[in-house]
């Protein structure tokens, strides 16, 4: 399992290990990498990109990691500068990288997303993808086109494999991944609305004896749907291990919901005598994971890989002597870094040093235009709500800044946030008597993150020590 915000997980076996990647959308660095011996216990292994591809600006979605002829290929979706969503590829000699970007392969008018490479029954290499017609109220056909072996271009005419035509699909199919077994190609695909509080995603299966079809859908679809613990399961990759078959995909925990993001789950399936497949765990597949806690004493010169920041920001920092110096930005949201939360009730705290020259504090982050944060500056603690880009102070206190101040936030039910402060790290005083409503924070395709903020003119900086996050 990949707990935390890991949408659209992809997995492939490379030699004696399994490698996985996931969507980062507008968080940076781009596409986290993980490796595992058993598909259950995963270790972080960096990121695919630590700089944006030169042609793209945002929406880094659906990385598909594959291994072919001794090379690792990463297919992904991104928004082209002054253009639409495009599918691109990158290549590496080893799964941990470095990855060389090969540029866009297909950019349709309404957008092209969710790439999956597959060889047909004759060994010819194809790209499978979804046309993002739903972004313009149009159909979402699944296309296939031959691809050059160097992954630099598609060749020939594209051919439609299938589209949404069943009532449960709600007019949208996407996230196709394919596995070949015996006489059939099997396409696992997602349908309906992927994301947010009102999602109704599910997973279906279709089959064909030839890659280009004709394709038929399983009459019993969806083969994966929500249960008491998880909702909106879909968009993943099948993989084989020791003669058994598994599907790594995402779903929302019903406990943390959209606030906790889409987490990576593993479900075993088998092929049935009638030529279809079924999931062995039924609707009782995985129990949600809660974090035992996280403490960052900033021991290294670089931030831990679990920290993320906005793809639209030039975040700069330095770490020395267990102190993080986060350079300020003048934007309404300041400069910020954040990390995933795994439960609906949690608290986080950080020590702010008196030497800080910016507004320095702790934040609950949706995106650049939506966050709630408490900062200390010039002997004033302020609690600010940033909603749709408009900032409003909702609480403030005047204090004499000690040599260091601990700021803390306590979140209940993923919607109510109480901020407090301590001059000695033991006794805390409440900042906002009425809990702040944070239900507006999560963007439709991402999760809330808790983190640190540094707001002020260029040249100012916030100094932090010891960030701690505890689930309750």
Q: Evaluate the CA torsion angle 85, 33, 232, 343 in order and state its sign.
A: negative
Q: Which of 8, 101, 368, 385 is catalytic?
A: 8
Cα gap 378→371, rounded to integer Å: 22
CA 91 to chain centre: 21
- Is 174 one of the annotated active-site residues of the chain? yes
Q: Return the sign of the alpha-carbon dihedral for residues 265, 266, 267, 271.
A: positive
CA distance 281 to 312: 41
- From CA 99, how far away is CA 90, in angstroms rounded? 6
Q: Tell me which residue of 196, 194, 469, 197 sits closest to 341, measured CA to CA.
A: 469
C-alpha of 278 from chain center? 27
**Which residues on adjacent β-strands are paired with residue 65?**
74
Find the largest Cα–Cα distance for the chain.
75
Residue 341's nearest CA partner among 387, 375, 294, 373 is 294
Determine how β-strand 404-412 pairs with β-strand 390-398. unpaired
166 phi/psi in degrees, rounded to 5: -110, 150
DSSP readout, 56-103? EEEEEEEEEEEEETTEEEEEEEEEETTS-EEEEEEEESSTT-PPEEEE
Is there a catalytic annotation at residue 349?
A: no
Catalytic residue (choose from 5, 132, 174, 296): 174
Q: Give SS3 for 440.
A: coil
Active site residues: 8, 174
């Amino acid at each position: 399992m990949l707990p935390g915000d890991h949408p659209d997980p992809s997995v492939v076996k490379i030699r004696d290990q399994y490698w996985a990647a996931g969507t980062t959308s507008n968080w940076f660095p781009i596409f986290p990498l993980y490796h595992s011996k058993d598909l259950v216990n995963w270790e972080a292994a960096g990121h695919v990109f630590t700089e944006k591809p030169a042609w793209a600006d945002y929406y880094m979605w659906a990385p598909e990691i594959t291994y072919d002829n001794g090379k690792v290929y990463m297919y992904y979706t991104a928004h082209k500068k002054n253009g639409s969503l495009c599918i691109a590829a990158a290549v590496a000699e080893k799964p941990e990288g470095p990855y060389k970007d090969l540029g866009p392969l297909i950019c349709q008018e309404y957008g092209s997303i969710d790439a999956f490479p597959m060889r047909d029954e004759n060994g010819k290499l194809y790209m499978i993808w979804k046309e993002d017609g739903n972004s313009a109220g149009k159909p979402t056909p699944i296309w296939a086109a031959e691809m050059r072996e160097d992954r630099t271009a598609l060749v020939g005419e594209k051919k439609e494999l299938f589209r949404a035509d069943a009532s449960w699909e709600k007019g949208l199919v996407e996230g196709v991944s394919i596995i070949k077994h015996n006489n059939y190609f099997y396409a696992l695909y997602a349908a309906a609305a992927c994301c947010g509080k009102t999602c109704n995603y599910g997973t279906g299966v279709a089959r064909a004896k030839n890659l280009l079809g004709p394709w038929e859908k399983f009459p019993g679809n969806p083969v994966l749907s929500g249960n008491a613990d998880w909702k909106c399961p879909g968009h993943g990759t099948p993989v084989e291990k020791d003669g058994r078959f598994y599907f790594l995909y995402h779903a929302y925990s019903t406990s943390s919901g959209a606030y906790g993001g889409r987490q990576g789950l593993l479900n075993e399936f088998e092929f049935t005598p009638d030529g279809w497949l079924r999931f062995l765990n039924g609707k009782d597949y995985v129990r949600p994971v809660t974090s035992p806690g996280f403490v960052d004493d900033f021991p290294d010169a670089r931030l831990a890989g679990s920290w993320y920041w906005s793809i639209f920001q030039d975040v700069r920092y330095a770490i020395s002597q267990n102190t993080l110096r986060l350079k300020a930005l003048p934007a309404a949201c300041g400069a910020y870094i954040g990390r995933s939360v795994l439960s609906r009730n949690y608290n986080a705290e950080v020590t702010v040093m008196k030497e800080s020259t910016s507004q320095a504090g702790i934040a609950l982050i949706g995106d650049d235009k939506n966050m709630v944060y408490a900062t200390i500056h010039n002997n004033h603690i302020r609690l600010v709500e940033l909603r749709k880009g408009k900032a409003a102070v909702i609480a403030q206190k005047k204090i004499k800044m000690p040599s260091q101040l601990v700021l803390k936030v306590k979140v209940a039910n993923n919607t109510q946030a109480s901020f407090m402060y301590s001059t000695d790290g033991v006794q805390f005083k409440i900042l906002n008597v009425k809990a702040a409503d944070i239900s507006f924070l999560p963007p439709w395709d991402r999760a809330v993150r808790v983190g640190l903020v540094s707001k002020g003119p260029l040249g100012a900086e916030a100094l932090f020590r010891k960030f701690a996050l505890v689930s309750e």
